[in-house]
Amino acid sequence: MSRRFARGCIRHHEATRVHRKAHLRCMHQPQQKVMQHMRMNLYEVEIEREDRRVRGYIVSPSEPRAVRLVAEHNNELGEEHTSFTLQRIDEDLPDDRREGLDDMLESAPVGFASYCDPIGWIVHAAAVHKLRFFRIEDRQGNETFIIAPSADVAAAIYSTGTPLAEGQHRLFRIFDGLENLPEERRGNLDKLLEAGPVGIAEFDEEAGWLIW
């Protein structure tokens, strides 16, 4: 092999090796992608049914998606509506109704939501199409009724809504509030359990269940 040919082979081999290293660096370099986070909107919804009117709130990226959620909600409950209205409200809420709103719209999934003092806005949950009714009993036998998507949320609402005196310890048990509930006290529960709001519930002989 001539020296000129040998030098040519060496140069070609070195060039190939440099190209291969550069290609490997390119392959292993992390790709930087700019991901745009989609902020949700908050809609107020009024659903007209044959026997009642339901008012609630929906977290959704758009109005068409909120409309689909209403349809999914009906299918899950086996309900039909005569009409419904949607109105976006997150930009127009007063300051005293904005607690937890930004966090919810930044991170929550599509679903129904409620405002609950002093927790603020919470999403019921993506898979929850009907809220639950809980009875909480403390060690003195005092009862508190709460509407919430889960026992954990009910406990959080109870803990923040019933502050303790200094040195006291909180002991309570959570039960299914519908169990053994007299028929005459069911009143407007179906309406409240469909779309909320969540919170501590009190029964009024004239108005039925009220949430605060």
Q: What is the pLDDT along the chain (212 residues), one digit of tens a residue?
A: 444 434 444 344 444 444 444 443 434 444 433 334 578 999 999 999 988 899 999 999 999 999 999 998 888 888 888 899 999 999 999 999 999 999 899 888 899 999 988 789 988 865 556 889 999 998 889 999 999 988 888 888 888 877 766 666 778 899 999 998 999 898 889 889 988 889 999 999 888 999 87
**What integer pLDDT is reported at residue 15 of this predicted model?**
42
How far is CA 179 from each of CA 22, 134, 174, 194, 197, rounded to the nearest angstrom? 70, 9, 12, 18, 21
Q: Are residues 56 and 119 in the same domain?
A: yes
Domain boundary among 91, 126, 161: 126
Structural contact between residues 134 and 179, judged by C-beta atoms closer than 8 angstroms: no
Q: What is the pTM of this model?
A: 0.58
Residue 196 covered by a domain: yes
Domain boundary among 67, 97, 126: 126
**What integer pLDDT is reported at residue 48 of this predicted model?**
93
Q: Are residues 143 and 71 in the same domain?
A: no
Total H helices, total E strands in the chain: 5, 10
Host domain of residue 93: 37-126
Q: Are residues 86 and 69 in the same domain?
A: yes
Residue 24 covered by a domain: no
**What integer pLDDT is reported at residue 23 of this predicted model?**
42
